Structure 1
Amino acid sequence: MTDPFGTERLRAAVLRSWQDSPTRFVEDTNAEGDLRVGAYRDRLFVELAQNAADAAQAAGTPGRVRVSVVDGELRFANTGAPLDARGVESLASLRASGKDAGETVGRFGVGFAAVLTVSSEPRVVSRTGGVAFSAERTRAAAGREGDVAVLRLPWPVPPEETPLPQGFDTEVRLPLRAGTGAEELLRGLAGDVGDLLLALPWLAEFDVDGEVWTRTVDGAVVVIGGPRGDRTRWLTHRGAAVWAVPVGETGVPRPLGEDVLHAPTPTDDRLSLPARLIAPVPTEPSRRRVLPGEALTTALETAAREYVGLVRLLPPEHRFALVPAAGFPKSTVDATIRELVLAVLTDQPWLAGQSGGELAGRQARVLDADVPGLAPLLKDLIPGLVADAPPGAAAILKPVSAEPCTIGDVLDALTGVVREPRWWRELYAALAVAVDTHVLATDALEGLPVPLSDGRTLPGARGALLVEGSAELLELLSDVDVPGLRLVHPEAAHPLLERLGAKHADARELLESDQLMDAVERSVEDIRSGLDGMTLAGAVLRLVADCGDSAPAWARALALPAEDGWRRADELVLPGSPLLDIFDEEVFDADDGALSVVDEEFAEDWPKETLVAVGVLDSFAVVGDADPHEPDHDLPDEEEWWDSRSRPPATVLAIRDLDLVADDAWPAALRLLAARPETWRALTEPDGHAGWWLARNALLAGEPPNAWRMPDAVTLTGLYDEVPDLGLSREVLLAAGVRTGLELSSVDEVRELLFRLGDPGRRISPGLAARAHAELVESPVDVREVDPPEGVRGADGTVADAPDAAVLDVPWYAAVLAPGAIVVAPETPERLAELLDLPLASSLPAEVTSEGEYVPWAELPALRLAADQLGERIPDGGVILHETLTVSCKDTEHDVPWWSGDRLHAADTSEGLARAFAWATDRWADRHLLTALLDDPSPATLQN
């Protein structure tokens, strides 16, 4: 029989010690008996599970355990590190453990004595070998009868030992002592498996006679899965100690009512904390009780400091459940750890503050009355107010020194506070529920601030006037601020205020007020929220009529009845107004139209002048601002107009609603604009918005005015068509922006001109094309805003494809490029090339291909004579003279009169020499005269 662990040596040593000292035999027997019937009497599976967890940890892989009963044996199989010699030595020792310093759980130490509670013949079988213990064999070896120390003498397992179950590394096999119920043992184990898996993180699976429990981790939650699909979820915080609390599937904690300290397996020290503590505290050898002393105090202090980590894992509204409830401690340890935990919750932040961040218990204030929705409204008023506090939070947090906040404290905090009216209404709504449920008495709310419609705040509701609830008042006005009256702001009004002493406002009191502006400006909004506006409309119109149809500017916001509901006065048109035929039909769309028509019956009740005085439109409205600061006058494209100017306008005189005119109604619209002095003045305002906008957006025969030319603007013929006869005067056409010249002031106009220049259907003279190019160069636009055209207008007036064209920047290239491919720019050809995305002519590769001879200027008699006639000094240098000058460009050779590049070249002709000499002497404008003088140097040439 093999003995891989040297058990013979171990037995010999023990037997020798017993022979040498008979008292040692008695001591060992008594010690083992004490462990069996005392310390480990009910810790069989706890100790075996600890050994299995250590084996898994040593192997570095979460372990599996299987417990079964086979042929009268209780078998406990596990995965992980197998049995070794050191482990056997520990098994055979009553006073030592095989664990290393720093390990949490002992392996094969004195705890193994727990197996003797059910068996006197235990065996440990591992894939490295096995050992067996036997009371009978120990008696025989020691020559003794009665009780013996069974675990002191190990034997190797026999060769016929049943092999390990597949997939496991070690199995403890315990032939059950007569009278020991296997089913009872398994039932007891089934009840403890969940706790064992929680306490021993290196165990992942526990199989008890075919029923399997599993341990998985989901973030901070340890999930213990049962054999019937049931799951227990533990929210866990791991540090030096482990804190865990059961939670539901949605994360709601289920605090423990009573538990024991786990170290890591359960001790006999009872706890009353809401969460389980698994801590490396010093314990007695039996691990049933903690060992008092400095080490225990340090361990408990460390664990308490980490408790707040578990609390913070919960959503703020559930953290209150982990505050230890008041009550008598269950043990000395319980008293200590409760006191330490409460101290940590007192000093460390963990409570969600209503203003953000977290608060320690001593920093916190909590409402002592259960008023749902009140705390969020007070977050900026009461420092340290706790958020998400449940009912009874003040009592819950009392042990952590949180300060209760009474309703009196709340009223003190509200004194002098300025808030939006809707905020006050929310406050009253929350307090009303508390009053209705008798949580608060109305007397407790005396002094509750009330915001008034004029911006003041009243200290208490008594004497305040409520607009809502008064039928007479609702017939006349709604939502109006009346200085001098304690009118509760309508957005703050709430039935609670009436219970606190507020009164309904009297209609006469409000009608006698002379400040209706705020009510008028809010009138449309009030009507849309369900308030009646007819009385307010009637009151304001009556006042306007009595004042000679003179109305303040704010009267334009007055809500009036329209065909599609209620609208502001300045969004309405009178029935029969010419604007009804001029504005686009969509303008009057019932769902989202910009304007509507005054209700016909209502309009009949009031003079036209009165309605126009409050802003109702009968014709175009004029907008005037003598001191404008920004483009905020609700004009179409106002910001673009503002930006198009070199400086902001000193005044604004413009016409409203020009963008509402129908496309085919512009002639009629222009006639209407010209018919009234105020609109004509706005239309003809120098650099004004109306003229600027109309030139680009009005439509005359389907085109904007600046797309047409005046009949007498013949210099634009071909580029712009003559404006058709639409029955409009010359003055109106000019005011609308019909062209008399090529001036460009916007990106759109530049784009339009480029399109026209590239349109092969247009017949444009070379001169007009050159002038158009000059205007493009001068236009104040960013080249990046303009897409280059596909076609460009050449020097001969024809259209060329852009890829075939170039901008002429030096004159000699004109001889090698086709006229239709040359784009001429009188000034700054570089900008034109950039605008058209064309190359400069000088960038095209060209090469002189003929041979020439260098001749100094001074050696050309005819040239000297011509220069003398012009009074020009013969310069230094000369020219390369060719009998025939040829230049290759774009793979084609051209005969040219002259060329300039690195050197100056000329054909031996009058034209060639004249151009070369004119270029060399910077007299390019005299090139034609020079040609004539070379042909005829007589003074008569100069006369011609």
Structure 2
Amino acid sequence: MSTATDGDPFGTAGIRQRVLSAWREDPARFREDANAEEDLVRGGYRDRLLVELAQNAADAAVRAGVRGQLRLELRGTTLCAANTGAPLDAAGVQGLATLRASAKRDETAAVGRFGVGFAAVLAVSDEPALLSTTGGVRFGADPTRKQVLAVPALAAEVARRAGGVPVLRLPWPTADRPPDGYATEVVLPLRDGAVPVVAAALADLRADVLLALPGLSAVDVVVDGVVRGLRIERTPGSARLTDGPGTTTWAVAERSGELAAQLLADRPVEERARRAWTVTAAVPLDDDGRPAPLPPGQVVHAPTPSDEPLSLPVRLIAPFPLDPDRRHVAAGPVTDALVESAAATCADLVAGLPADPAVLALVPRVGLAGAELDAALCGALLDRLRALAWLPVAADREARQTPERATALDDPTEERVAALGDVVPGLLPAGWSRRSDARTLTALGVRRIGVAEAVEAVRGVARPASWWAGLYAALDGADREELAALPVPLADGRTAHGPAGVLLPDAELPVHRLAPLGLRLAEPDAVAPAEARRLLERLGAQPATARTVLADPAVRAAVGASMDAVDDPLEGRPSRTSWPRPCSRSSRRRVRRRGAALAGRAGATRRRRGWAPAGELVRPGSVLADVLAEGSLGVLDDDMAATADPDALRAVGVLDTFGLVHAEDPDDLDVDDADRWVDEVLDRLPPDGPPPRWPALTAVRDLELVTDWDRALPLVAALPAGAWADVVLDGVAVPGYLRWWLSTHPVLAGERPDRLRDPGSTELQGLYEPAAAAPEVLALLRPPASVADVLADVDAAIDLLDRLGDPVRTVRPDVLRTVYARLAGALDGIDVDPPERVRVAPDRVVTDAVVLDLPWLQPLVRVPVVPAGGAPGAVADLLDLPLASERVRGGVTAQGDRRPWAGLPGAALAAARLGAEG
């Protein structure tokens, strides 16, 4: 047997002699070695060659106890990888020439996988060489083939393989040495076609590869003489990565331990001796120190990139045992144990990050796992996060709580959370309660509450008036029904259990002097902000001006007992007035001014049963008199109508068409459903915008009294343009009062115009009946002509949702593809009951369906599919339906032919239902 000599320091001659003798004696071993090497080459190591080289460099640095450095240089058609650290030795050469064996089997800190990684060089080179300060070896297909063909028993096998031989089994010595400053250099003359592939791999190599290589601190990438430096600076809990001119900080969590010996009983011998493990989880941070989750498409690093998908947007590095192809993790007790350790490490990473809502992106999404290992990792991590105190508390930003103790507010704002933080236990900050994170919070077990539950929490609490003012201002814009029981502190120390009927005092009203009257006057400081007053007025409170105070039943009784009757109805003012002592002089002046204005506008005339204000009378014989309900308004005396000048009657207010009402503030519009109109106008404005500045408003009175709309509509259509004008608030045009009222009442043959469609509309065919009226009337009423018109109004959008589930209706196919997604966007943030039936085809509705979120699941789904229009998650939430990925469970059990997605049967249909490109 040959031994090492000065010209052959590693005894390569002896290695060749032993290998050739074994092949000669047993040709089957030659076939096994050739097949094993071919399997490694077919494994596709070209895409991970650089990582394998870096891994070997890291292990060499660990063996030498130095900070490793690697230089990857493309010189023409040759790739050179020079590294510092421990030089090559005889055991290392023996490991290289013995497939699936390694000299690193006893090194617990090594990253490499038992010599298999060096085989990656065969993906690009037939003549690899390994040069070291202690000597060098080279391999080659040509010299190996020459040696093998000299053995007659092997020649036929080589011919059958078209000249293919196992390159890495026969080493030869070489006198070449690595460049100065480096212990070892791998030299790879690249085969034809490999140069652009290697150049692209060098360009794609990023500094984050160093996270998986604790022995390496620097990599220099050199192409055409241009150097790009990759560097890592490790500190506890973080790492600074430099890639050329850019530097990124990563948050890093690590855990280490040792596997129990029995877990490794079924693993190869080399693995049984390496029971120590280290798991690393890392995520980059932005310039503000917040996590910047990695993009989709991550894989598990074990420690080199595997083919195991990872839905978590982090870098996970764990020494999972691999199948022989080194692409997939092998199932078994070792993997199970490392899954728990990896989940604990990821939980450490999440808990160690700053308390920012961006952290929620690192929480696993239920039902979105990419494979069995990913599902196990996500499930274990979710269990850890549910039991870990890591969520912030709104009332104490330094405190942390477990998800089961946390509470998320629906439709949160910073102001609402600030107001409720000290009365709702465990309330999360507003940024942590976004609707987009609802599924994540639900998966964690966080309790969600609506505004109604928050209102219930404040009932009975004792807080200063300024706190209540802040609460009311914060709740402005919330749903009115949820606020019906909102407490209101009163000026006399009592608390009203709801705003309805509460009086809101103005600055001039002597609130505390009015206490003897027992009025429900709100504490002035609690309702001082404009937003607070606006909210309470929407909920039924009334401004406590002198007029409203005197209109209160208690005050009316007091005043009525102290006032004489009016002497002359034409004068319209009292002859003598004795005022209750609590009223101030300024209040009395205001009431007197108001009475005079009413008398001057009312201008009394006589009718058969007495006197009435002119504005409450209609001219006999007019169309208006015929279309109004009998007795709803008085009719002017026939004699006076026949003798008086019509223009004079019209000037004093007698009606022969619908009367107009003008106001500077919507609260002063004394017309039917004015408060509903205001609410719907405000619903169309951005929810987080400032209070709108109202322009001068024009409304039409007495619409609710009409009994014959066929004759009334021409009268309404003839009203001045100002009555029909849209109202523009903060740049948003919304329907004025007249158009809104007519659109929401059955004025067209017993139907509401907003529940019909423009006769010329094709988009809404099948969903809405066409409106029938004179063209000039339809132009003013504007029945919807498109889905966008319908979605502009919340109530109309909810009605459309119901119509889609109506089996007697039909929908155009192009409308159906996107209508549910558009509805989900229009109703985002609105509490809507899911429909009982959903539409899955233009003419078909069902009660059980799924929303398609992954196109390749369509052939596996056994229930009808709802078109998602590109927003499957939002559509599933709106309809309260499962996603297809939540219904289909399975995994890949065999390798199949890869075909382009667009060529699969049904691909176009699935893409259309998803709202995606085919």
- Considering only aligned residues, what root-mean-square deviation do their CA atoms show, in Å? 3.1
2:242 to 214, 218, 225: 225
Structure 1 counterpart of 2:121, from 94, 106, 115: 115
Counterpart CA distance in 2 for 1:167 and 1:186 is: 24
2:48–2:305 Cα contact (<8 Å) kept: no
Q: Is the 8 A contact 1:97 1:106 kept in 2?
A: no
Shift of 1:81: 1.8
| 1:342-371 residue CA offsets vs partner (Å, 9 max, x unmatched) | 222222222112344322223322112233
Which of 481, 485, 510 is the matching residue for 1:443?
481
Matching of residues 819-898 of structure 1 within 5 Å: none
State the partner residue of 1:361. 403
Distance 1:442 1:479 in 2: 32
Letter in 1 for 2:411: A
Equivalent residues of 2:290, 2:356 under 8 A apart: no
Q: Which residue identity is paired with 1:211?
A: R
Between structure 1 and structure 2, the one with the greater Rg is 1
Tell me, yes or no, if the aligned pair for 2:81 and 2:187 is still in contact at 8 Å. Answer: yes
Q: Does 1:455 align with 2:493?
A: yes
The one-character-per-residue Cα deviations of 1:162-208 (angstroms, maximum 9, x if unpaired) are: x422322211001122x133243122232133342232232222222
The DSSP-based 3-state class of the residue aligned with 1:492 is: helix
Counterpart check, 1:321 vs 2:361: yes
Match of 1:186 in 2: 199
Q: Which residue of 1 aligns with 2:475?
A: 431
Q: Hey, what does 1:13 align to over in structure 2? A: 18
Are positions 1:213 and 2:252 aligned together?
A: no
User: Within 2, Cα distance between the matches of 1:479 and 1:49?
Assistant: 86
8 Å Cα contact 1:354-1:384 kept in structure 2: yes
CA distance in 2, matches of 1:27, 1:322: 45
| Alpha-carbon distance change, 221 to 139 in structure 1, aligned in 2, over 3 angstroms | same
More moved, 313-322 vs 84-93 = 313-322
Aligned counterparts of 2:423 and 2:122: Cα–Cα separation in 1: 68
Q: Give the letter for the 1:362 counterpart.
A: E
1:30-80 CA distance string (max 9 Å, x none): 211221222635332121111011112223333221111235321011122
1:247-646 pair list within 5 angstroms = 247-256=285-294, 257-318=296-357, 319-356=359-396, 357-387=399-429, 388-392=431-435, 393-432=437-476, 435=477, 440-468=478-506, 472-473=508-509, 484-493=518-527, 494-495=532-533, 496-505=535-544
CA distance in 2, matches of 1:485, 1:82: 95
1:446 offset after TM fit, Å?
Answer: 0.6
Q: What SS does the aligned partner of 1:105 have?
A: coil
One-letter code aligned to 2:409: L
The one-letter amino acid of 2:238's match is V
Deviations 1:386-438 (A, max 9, x none): 23424214333111121211222111111101112211111111111xx1xxx
**Maintained 8 Å contact 2:242/2:248:** yes
SS at match of 1:28: helix
Corresponding residue number in structure 2 for 1:561 = none
- Structure 2 SS opposite 1:112: helix
Mapped partners of 1:414, 1:370: distance in 2: 16
Secondary structure (helix, strand or coil) at the match of 1:285 reads coil
Q: 1:448 to 1:89 in 2, by over 3 A?
A: same
Assess, with a 3 A threshold, how the Cα gap between structure 1 residues 287 and 454 changes in structure 2: closer, same or farther: farther
After superposition, where does 1:719-734 map in structure 2 within 5 Å?
none
Q: 1:105/1:219 Cα in 2 relative to 1: closer, same or farther (>3 Å)?
A: closer
1:125-146 residue CA offsets vs partner (Å, 9 max, x unmatched): 1122222112222233342552
CA contact under 8 A between 1:98 and 1:106: conserved in structure 2? no
Match of 2:141 in 1: 135
Pairing of 1:631-670 with structure 2 (within 5 A): none
Q: Which residue of 2 aligns with 1:684?
A: none
Moved more, 374-383 or 101-110: 101-110
- TM-score, normalised relative to structure 1: 0.50
Q: Provide the C-alpha distance between the structure 1 equivalents of 2:329 and 2:401, rounded to a whole number of angstroms.
A: 34
Partner amino acid for 1:5?
F
CA contact (8 A) 1:39 1:286 kept: no
Cα distance in 1, alignment partners of residues 511 and 491 from structure 2 = 13
TM norm structure 2: 0.51
Deviations 1:610-637 (A, max 9, x none): xxxxxxxxxxxxxxxxxxxxxxxxxxxx
Tell whether 2:186 aligns with 1:172. yes
Give 1:25 deviation, angstroms: 1.9
Q: CA deviation at 1:91?
A: 0.9
1:236 is aligned to 2:279: no
Corresponding residue for residue 96 of structure 2:
91
Equivalent position SS for 1:43: helix
Where 2:331 maps in the other structure, the secondary structure is coil
- Separation of aligned partners in 1, 2:316 and 2:69: 24
**Unaligned regions of 5+ residues in structure 1, if any?**
514-534, 540-944
Percent identity between matched residues is 43
Does residue 91 of structure 2 align to residue 50 of structure 1? no
Q: Is contact 1:308–1:350 with CA below 8 Å preserved after alignment?
A: no
CA gap of 1:184–1:431, structure 2 versus 1, over 3 A, is: same
C-alpha distance in 2 between matches for 1:98 and 1:492? 79
Change (3 A) 1:506 1:148: closer
Alpha-carbon separation, structure 2, partners of 1:97 and 1:377: 65
**What is the DSSP-based 3-state SS (H/G/I as helix, E as strand, rest coil) of the residue aligned with 2:370?**
coil
Q: 1:481 to 1:98 in 2, by over 3 A?
A: farther
Q: Are the equivalent residues in 1 in contact too, given 2:300–2:310 (CA < 8 A)? A: yes
Q: Counterparts of 2:9 and 2:493 in 1: how far apart (Å)?
A: 95
Query: 1:30 is matched with which residue?
Result: 35
Could you list the runs of 5+ residues in structure 2 that have no partner in the other structure? 1-5, 257-278, 556-580, 586-918
Structure 1 residues 164 and 41 mapped into 2: Cα distance closer, same or farther (>3 Å)? closer
SS in 1 for 2:456: helix
C-alpha distance in 2, partners of 1:405/1:479?
Answer: 41
Is the 8 Å Cα contact of residues 51 and 107 (structure 1) preserved in structure 2? no
Aligned amino acid, residue 164 of structure 1: P
Contact 2:238 2:250 in 1 (8 A): yes
Distance 1:252-1:480 versus aligned 2 partners, 3 A rule = farther
Task: Determine the C-alpha separation between the residues in 2 that align with 1:251 and 1:482.
Answer: 60
Contact 1:258 1:273 (8 Å CA) reproduced: no
The whole-number CA distance in structure 2 between the counterparts of 1:414 and 1:339 is 37
Contact 2:89/2:134 (8 A) holds in 1: yes
Q: Measured at CA, do residues 483 and 269 of structure 1 come closer, stay the same or move farther in structure 2, by a change above 3 Å?
A: farther
Q: Secondary structure at the match of 1:282?
A: coil
Question: Are the equivalent residues in 2 in contact too, given 1:367–1:394 (CA < 8 A)?
Answer: no
2:12, 2:171 within 8 Å by CA — same for their partners in 1? yes
> Any conservation in 1 of the 2:408–2:427 contact (CA below 8 Å)?
yes
1:717-771 CA-to-partner distances (Å, cap 9, x unmatched) read: xxxxxxxxxxxxxxxxxxxxxxxxxxxxxxxxxxxxxxxxxxxxxxxxxxxxxxx
Change (3 A) 1:167 1:457: farther
